[in-house]
């Protein structure tokens, strides 16, 4: 496993992480089982992954509890634990309480990366107040690093200007061959400022693993209402999925590994694929340690841009 620096002088994290939203209950499907999710995380850690993402919102804390069990089984020092405070807990006192609850569920004394899940969704608390509360938690040793999620450049700048000494090491955003909004400005800003981008939904919730078609769509509550899974859109993305599959074949890899590699080949971008079972974790770790050729990246870029221009939605 290759390790990359989170932020400018931050800690080393695996170039591919793991997402644990799936461990939050049955919203990702009836096939989700706590034990499998825990085993998936432990398997990923055995294979060198240290970056594990969760949030207090996932299953109202259940994902953090499952992650806590896996941390105890794997060993605290092998895990870089990233969790998030929800948008309705952004007032300073709420941030502190939420952090205490997450520490308890995770069974750790310190959170490695504490992220603001969404920027001030209902204008409940000004960003500077939230950031000062996070800086206090950092001084108290309850969190090691501060991150944000779903922040655009303006939000990140406002957050950073609120600190007296701290800084943001990462912004977690939706980013994949089927969602390239960060390239409108955030990717270049983050690169210039030494802020890592953690890419959520890096395999487009399974679409880039080349298994979903108009005739075979997931039935879980998270994906059944997602525009990308509308039959018409699954038809539109088929040429990109076919190219991902062809590229994978040329490397003896799988489509999911190519989708993740396309992200990891961007400096400062770290995909955090969500998994339900050990086999998926193992497969996704296979995205580390190799690179796509320049011509392959260019072809994927072109086909993705063409497909995105024809998607009916988001």
Ligand X SMILES: NC(=O)c1ccc[n+]([C@@H]2O[C@H](COP(=O)([O-])OP(=O)(O)OC[C@H]3O[C@@H](n4cnc5c(N)ncnc54)[C@H](OP(=O)(O)O)[C@@H]3O)[C@@H](O)[C@H]2O)c1
Quick check: is 58 catalytic?
yes
Q: How many residues does the chain have?
A: 314
Q: Are 53 and 17 contacting, i.e. CB atoms less than 8 angstroms apart? A: yes
User: Which residue, 9 or 225, has its beta carbon nearer to ligand X?
Assistant: 225
The gap from C-alpha 224 to its chain's centroid, in whole angstroms, comes to: 20
Q: Decide: is 226 part of the binding site for ligand X (CB under 6 A).
A: no
Q: Confirm or reject binding of residue 19 to ligand X (CB under 6 A).
A: yes
* Beta carbons within 8 Å of 216's beta carbon, 6+ residues apart: none
The least CB distance from residue 188 to ligand X, in Å, is 21
Segment interacting with ligand X (CB under 6 A) among 8-16, 101-109, 266-274, 295-303: 266-274
Please give the Cα distance from 169 to 114 (Å, whole number).
10
Q: Which of the stretches 152-160, 198-206, 234-242, 301-309 binds ligand X when contact is defined by CB under 6 A?
A: 198-206
Residue 202 found at the interface with ligand X (CB under 6 A): yes
Among 25, 107, 194, 218, interactor with ligand X by CB under 6 A = 218
- DSSP single-letter state for residue 59: G
Q: Does 209 bind ligand X (CB under 6 A)?
A: yes
CA dist., res. 156 & res. 1, Å (int): 30
Considering the complex, state which of residue 140 and residue 213 has its C-beta at the smaller distance from ligand X: 213
Asked whether position 96 contacts ligand X by CB under 6 A, the answer is: no
How far, in Å, CA of 169 to CA of 195, rounded?
5
| Residue with tokens 């990702």, as numbered in its chain | 28
The structure tokens 């499952």 sit at: 66
Q: What is the DSSP letter of 48?
A: T
User: With contact defined as beta carbons under 8 Å apart, do 145 and 172 qualify?
Assistant: no
Question: Which of 86, 172, 233, 247 contacts ligand X by CB under 6 A?
Answer: 172
Q: Does 273 bind ligand X (CB under 6 A)?
A: yes
Nearest distance, CB of residue 177 and ligand X, angstroms: 11
Binding residues (CB under 6 A) for ligand X: these are: 19-22, 28-29, 53, 117, 149-150, 172, 200-206, 209, 218, 256, 272-276, 280, 283-284
The catalytic residues are 58
């Amino acid at each position: 496993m290759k390790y990359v620096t989170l932020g400018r002088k931050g800690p080393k994290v695996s170039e591919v992480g793991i997402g644990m939203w799936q461990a939050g209950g049955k919203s990702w499907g009836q096939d989700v089982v706590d034990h499998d999710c825990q085993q998936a995380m432990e398997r990923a850690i055995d294979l060198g992954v240290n970056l594990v993402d969760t949030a207090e919102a996932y299953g109202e804390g259940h994902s953090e509890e499952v992650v806590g069990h896996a941390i105890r089984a794997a060993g605290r020092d092998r895990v870089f634990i990233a969790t998030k405070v929800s948008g309705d807990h952004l007032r300073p006192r709420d941030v502190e309480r939420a952090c205490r609850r997450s520490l308890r569920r995770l069974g750790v004394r310190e959170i490695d990366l504490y992220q603001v899940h969404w920027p001030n969704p209902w204008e409940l608390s000004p960003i500077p107040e939230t950031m000062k509360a996070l800086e206090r938690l950092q001084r108290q040793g309850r969190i090691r690093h501060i991150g944000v999620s779903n922040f655009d450049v303006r939000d990140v700048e406002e957050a950073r200007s609120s600190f007296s000494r701290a800084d943001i090491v990462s912004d977690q955003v939706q980013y994949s061959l089927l969602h390239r909004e960060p390239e409108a400005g955030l990717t270049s800003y983050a690169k210039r400022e030494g802020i890592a981008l953690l890419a959520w939904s890096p395999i487009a919730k399974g679409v880039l693993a080349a298994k979903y078609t108009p005739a075979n769509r997931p039935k879980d509550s998270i994906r059944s209402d997602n525009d990308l899974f509308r039959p018409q859109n699954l038809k539109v993305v088929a040429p990109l999925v076919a190219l991902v599959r062809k590229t994978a074949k040329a490397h003896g890899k799988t489509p999911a590994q190519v989708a993740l590699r396309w992200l990891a080949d961007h400096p400062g971008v770290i995909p955090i694929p969500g998994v339900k079972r050990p086999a998926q974790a193992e497969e996704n770790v296979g995205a580390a340690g190799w690179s796509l050729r320049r011509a392959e990246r260019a072809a994927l870029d072109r086909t993705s841009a063409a497909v995105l221009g024809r998607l009916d939605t988001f």
